[in-house]
């Protein structure tokens, strides 16, 4: 039972355009959400997070939006750069335990 | 500062053999996590420890899997006997507290069981 879902396994975007990665969750007890980025042959690295008391968090080219009523969050990257090409994992925590639950990831390819 | 250190980076083993993966968390971190990455399920949490004590092992697939954390600087994940379906990348991660708000991953151990 996937509590965190990333329904797009891959996304291709032109350099300079906006990349939008989506994530849906089912557990209404989740109160903190994170995005991790993973390059091949490396471990995931933390990118940006958002608390459930907010609906937007911005860090440079990266913005995360949270829609609690829809149980949906998205990561916007603008402008996209070839170095952004990686797998992006959405994660959530909260509820009965504080463990981080990850989605299946979305492979982003930014074309020069 | 050294990050999370995992060994081996790559392991190829025959079905039925015992596999031991090792992890050294970041110094000062008191929570340690073992994750497995597969194409179908993404990053699955297998088990996590807080202050060397296993807190939640509900993600451990079956009795063939076991994990220990004998001290604050070392943990092992053991598979005995290994099966081809165990082939995956196993990540160890650590954080300063059990909330896991920001956890830091190692580079992973690539396991292939043939």
Q: What is the pLDDT of residue B99?
A: 60
With CA atoms as reference, the chain A residue closest to B40 would be A104
Distance from CA of A99 to the nearest CA of B (A): 6
Cβ of B106 and A97 within 8 Å?
no
Question: Which of B39, B45, B55 is opposite residue A100, by nearest beta carbon?
Answer: B45
Parallel, antiparallel, or unpaired for β B42-50 and B31-38?
antiparallel
3-class DSSP string for chain B = CCCCEEECCEEEECCCCCEEEEEECCCCCCEEEEEEEECCCEEEEEEEEECCEEEECCCCCCCCEEEEEEECCEEEEEECCCCHHHCEEEEEEEECCCCCCCCEECCCEEEEEC
Average pLDDT over residues B28-53: 91
- Strand-pairing partners, residue A102, are A91
Q: How confident is the model at residue B39 (pLDDT cuts 50, 70, 90)?
A: confident
Residue A98 or B72, more confident: B72
Q: How far apart, in Å, do the first and last CA atoms of chain A sit?
A: 37
Phi, psi dihedral angles at B106 (to 5 degrees)? -80, -175
Q: How far is B74 from chain A, CA to nearest CA, in Å?
A: 18
Close Cβ partners of B98 (under 8 Å, ≥ 6 residues apart): A98, B30, B31, B48, B50, B55
CA A82 from chain center: how many Å? Answer: 18
Distances (CA, A) of A34 to A46, A87, A106, B23, B26: 8, 14, 14, 23, 20
What's the confidence (pLDDT) of residue B62?
86
Partner-chain contact B101 A93, CB within 8 Å: yes
CB contact under 8 A, B42 and A32: no
Q: What is the pLDDT of residue B72?
A: 94
**B100 has a pLDDT exceeding 60:** no
Res A97: pLDDT: 63
CA distances from A82 to A12, A17, A39, B73 (A): 11, 11, 12, 37
A34 contacts B42? CB cut-off 8 A: no
Other Cβ atoms closer than 10 A to A101: 23
**8 Å CB contact of B33 and A99:** yes
Q: Which residues of B touch A93 (CB under 8 A)?
A: 99-101
Token pair listed for B36: 């497995």
What local confidence, expressed as pLDDT, does residue B101 receive? 64
Instruction: List chain A pLDDT tens, one digit each, 112 residues.
Output: 679 999 999 999 999 999 999 999 999 989 999 999 999 989 999 999 999 999 999 999 999 999 999 999 999 999 999 999 999 999 998 866 667 889 999 999 999 9
Can you give the pLDDT at residue A66? 98
Q: Does A3 touch chain B (CB under 8 A)?
A: no
Q: What is the mean pLDDT of residues B96-114?
A: 85
State both tokens at A76: 């916007």
The whole-angstrom distance between A50's CA and the closest CA on chain B is: 10
């Amino acid at each position: 039972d996937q509590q965190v879902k990333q329904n797009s396994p891959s996304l291709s975007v032109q350099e300079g355009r906006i990349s939008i990665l989506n994530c849906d969750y089912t557990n209404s007890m989740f109160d903190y959400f994170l995005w991790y980025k993973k390059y091949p042959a490396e471990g995931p690295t933390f990118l940006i997070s958002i608390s459930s008391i907010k609906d937007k968090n911005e860090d440079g080219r990266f913005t995360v939006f949270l829609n609690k009523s829809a149980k949906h969050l998205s990561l916007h990257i603008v402008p996209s750069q070839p170095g952004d090409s990686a797998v992006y994992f959405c994660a959530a925590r909260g509820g009965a335990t504080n463990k981080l639950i990850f989605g299946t990831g979305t492979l982003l390819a930014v074309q020069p | 500062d050294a990050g999370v250190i995992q060994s081996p980076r790559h392991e190829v083993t025959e079905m039925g053999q015992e596999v031991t993966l090792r992890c050294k968390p970041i110094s000062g971190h008191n929570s340690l996590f073992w994750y497995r990455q597969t194409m179908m399920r993404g990053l699955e949490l297998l088990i996590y420890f807080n202050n060397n004590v296993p807190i939640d092992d509900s993600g451990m697939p079956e009795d063939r899997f076991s994990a220990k954390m004998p001290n604050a600087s070392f943990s092992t994940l053991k598979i005995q006997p290994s099966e081809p379906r165990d082939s995956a990348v196993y990540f160890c991660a650590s954080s300063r507290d059990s909330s896991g708000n920001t956890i830091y991953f190692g580079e992973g151990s690539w396991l292939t069981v043939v």
